[in-house]
Structure 1
Amino acid sequence: MKYALITGASGGIGREIATALAKEGYGLYLHYHKNEDSIDQLREEFGHSTTWKIQADLSHKSGVADIVNQVLHPIDVLILNSGASFFGLLTDMTDSKVDEMIQLHLTSPLLLTKAFLPTMIQKKTGKIAVISSIWGVTGASCEVLYSTVKGGLNTFVKALAKEVAPSGINVNGVAPGAITTSMMSQFDKDEIASLCEDIPMGRLGKPEEVADLVTFLISEKASYINGQIININGAWYC
């Protein structure tokens, strides 16, 4: 059996990725921060014998060790999906919030990857998929720090892929646009409708559409795709 670790598995996109990988027969380590009920529901659906839940706050320095210390198998697939948005002016952000966002989106993913890479390198195989954002590609007013950290993740993907490709490891990023997840709850119906008018396909994306792309990228069908940031946004930004 192959094993996958999914950070942020309790959220909309994370749940769909977990569901897709369970169908592929992976043993799953499902990370969450607060929404334990969501993870328990997944484990009931998939079976407790092939899934493990891990609680950790990746916006704090202790979060990475909390995950690493609970993983009992070599990780074949690492899905870096944890994230949180902040909508507002950069000048309105507290310094502590800046530190938390950088830890959550950049430092923790990098250190988690560092922890699980040696086994992948030894086995000469491994798949890493990073969930970024459209704003990491093009930037967004009132989401300056979020855009910055997601942009950093995109560069992380490109650089790491060059470093580990000789070891048979694929590293790719997925940059979703507007997806129907809890992150969209900050917008009301009129704002969502206006947003959909700006998207050429006229709708928000679905979490399962992101999961389908991730599943493809970690499959052997995508064995020669490496170091890429793939946009999935309904032609909103091309």
Structure 2
Amino acid sequence: MRRRLVISTLVTALCGGTLAGTAVPAGAAPAAVDCRRVKCVALTFDDGPVADSRRLLGILKERNVKATFYLVGKNVQRYPTTARDAHRAGHQIGNHSWDHADLTRLTSAQVRSQLSRADTAIKQATGVKPSTLRAPYGAHNATVRQAADRPLVHWSVDTLDWRYRDSARIVKTVKEQTKPGDIVLLHDIHRTTVNAVPGIITALKARGFHFVTVDQLFAPTRLPAEKVTYHNRAAYRP
């Protein structure tokens, strides 16, 4: 009986299941990383999915990197399979509104509509409702925060990749500015940004960074609703 249990345990470990024989669900969180003990960074990608998002997923898979995608509902409706595959690969999915509207210019009802339509599209594609929001343009006010009814996650490193379509510049910015606990803003709608990702990963790994999702960056703490968060530099205690 003992021999059978040992063999079962080895098979379970090799197959990535559980001792009870239950398969790890698609989209399960990657192995835990304690960002209080190691240097962590959260790469976040806004405005997708687009056609080139699939190439980005390949790059992240090849390098075993997890990220967070803030998806526009209208684009999810166009590329549902890409959104689904991002979730199944273990990346975190966030809400980035229905059509990238400036939410501060809308009424409370209009903001709720923007978010609920995006939630619906994302849930239909991935099976999950996003637990965090990133307001388009980083624009928020009391109306937006209240209507969101979830944490707003913004960023502490702005690559300005939308302005400077220069892959080398993007890599240099991230390499020089990133500190433990930072959230990096990127946009996979730009080919130059996707081209920069291998260089970003190489540069930050050389500095000892671990790549995590937004939720992992703050674990075990849960972000409170209606609060805007930019980084978690306070977590790292070498």
Q: TM-score, normalization: structure 1? A: 0.38
**Which of 1 and 2 has greater Rg?**
2
